[in-house]
Amino acid sequence: MSRLNASFIDALKRALNGTRFSAKDFIFEDSSSSRTLIGIRFKYDKSFNFEITEEEEVETITEKGPFSNASSGTSERKNKSVMNYVVYSPGEYKRSDKIDIYDVGGATDYIQKWCDYIYDEVTHKTDDDSSYDSLREQIEEQLKDGVENESDPFNDEELARINKKFDDLLKNFEALKEENKITQAELNKVQSDFEDFKNSAKNMPKGLWARVTNNKLVDIVVAFGKSKEGRDFIISEIKKLVS
């Protein structure tokens, strides 16, 4: 049985209803230990839970004084206090967070944060670019095509050719911006990346430049490939660059 009164449990439910979820998405559980006042679990993932705890903590204080131990010159006394915490998973950055609260009533302030962290977790999609592995290999091979010695630097003629290819490709991205298919911020990012590619070609050996540039080009495909049509278009443009 919960050690909290019914009115406060209703306050917790109202707090849950004020989030992206409903109180019906959660299960209120009886105390699992002497220190747990109440537990709340997300119905669809048992690893997402919220507890209000009451814990006795003992602080040992060492001091000098008239009643000190003769041999050590010090004495010890212990202060006991009762602390309240909210412990919830997922946390903001870690799997769980433990927060000291002034009193039990302060727990409702953390319901919103906890539910936001749950929402972030259930909507998070891990980037999986394994589907681009073949494209990655193809671009790398074409970037390295004709490179006789990967450890050599690019000569002036090769640098000029690289600059022209990236300048031509940038014009296609600028056309996309004019058609409102990409934002100005996205265009600025591509422009910055292309400048980095051209500058790094002046300083990196050919083989290393090809590998690093290849990975960044595939990153561009992933970033702009929100739809199959968009992905296919960006891939076709990049293939023009390396053809």
Domain ranges in the chain are 6-123, 130-242
Buried b / exposed e across 127-166, counting CB within 10 Å, b at 16+? eeeeebeebbebbbebbbeebeeeeeebeeeeeeebbebb
- Residue written as token pair 């090769």: 158
Sign of CA dihedral 145, 146, 150, 153: negative
Report which of 32, 240, 21 is spatially closest to residue 142, judged by C-alpha positions.
240
Q: Beta partners for 49?
A: 41, 89
Structure tokens at 129: 């670019």
Q: What is the pLDDT of residue 125?
A: 72
pTM of the entire structure?
0.57
d(CA 171, CA 184) in angstroms, rounded, equals: 13
What pLDDT shows up at residue 20?
Answer: 93
Q: Write out the chain's pLDDT in tens, 243 residues.
A: 567 899 999 999 999 999 999 999 999 987 767 889 999 999 999 999 999 999 887 676 676 655 555 555 566 767 777 899 999 999 999 999 999 998 899 999 999 999 999 999 998 876 555 656 666 676 666 665 555 677 888 889 888 988 988 898 888 888 888 888 778 888 898 899 999 999 999 999 988 888 888 788 877 777 765 545 556 666 676 666 655
